Amino acid sequence: MAKKSAPVERMDDVDAVTGAVLTASRLLVAVSARSLAEVEDRVTLPQFRMLVVLSTRGATKLVALAESLDVAPSTAMRMVDRLIAAGLADRQTNPDNRRETLLRLTGEGRSTVENVTARRRREIAAIVERLAPRRRTALIEALTDFNEAGREPPAPLSEGSAGAHPLGWGGAATAG
């Protein structure tokens, strides 16, 4: 396959970069959809996103959860209700303030996040392995800058990847 590269004069063109990011986002959405295939009868992509937030933040109040997902509290509540019905999340009374309810993952919810994220990480790693090492370094730098500009916290390192850069999915601030 012939390698396509942007002309040098377009390398900093916002439209060219936006187009490249949109193409990459299509690829990442496809990877996300495939990683959810085994649980798609129980979890939608937005619901999985909520599970990821709960897995990274721990027990969380509904309003904070809604804010982190940039949805209305009523929308978050409907999503939580579905996750509770599926056995993936539950409610508990806040031990520090008995008038508050906290939302958290169940063991099955945590296992679901770990399994889906592991599948996603493997598929992304297979794609990254096809890049030349110098391109990988450039990609780390570009995506780190992009994620920081979008205020997305780094994904956790996978087990056994000590020293690896924390690129991957599973951050808590945006949909994914």
Q: Hey, how many other C-beta atoms are within 10 angstroms of the C-beta on 80? A: 23
The per-residue pLDDT for range 59-106, each reduced to its tens digit, is 999 999 999 999 999 999 999 999 999 999 999 988 888 888 899 999
- Tokens 């099955």 belong to 108
The mean pLDDT value for 114-118 works out to 94
Expressed as residue numbers, the domain containing 133 is 22-37+114-149
Neighbouring residues of 103: CB distance < 8 A, sequence distance ≥ 6: 54, 59, 60, 61, 62, 65, 80, 89, 90, 91
SS3 label, residue 163: coil
Report whether pLDDT(175) > 60.
no
The per-residue pLDDT for range 36-53, each reduced to its tens digit, is 988 888 898 899 999 999
SS3 label, residue 176: coil
Domains: count for the chain:
2
Q: Which of 110, 134, 167 is the last residue of a domain?
A: 110
31, two tokens: 């990877």
Q: Hey, how many other C-beta atoms are within 10 angstroms of the C-beta on 43? A: 22
C-alpha dihedral (61, 63, 64, 67), degrees to nearest 10: 160
The Cα 165–Cα 95 span in angstroms is 37
Residues 101 and 46 grouped into a single domain: yes
Question: What pTM was estimated for this model as a whole?
Answer: 0.73
Q: Residue 72 maps to which CATH number?
A: 1.10.10.10
- Domain-located, residue 50: yes
- Domain-located, residue 53: yes
Residues 85 and 144 grouped into a single domain: no
- Helix, strand, coil percentages (3-state) for the chain, rounded to 5, are 60, 10, 35
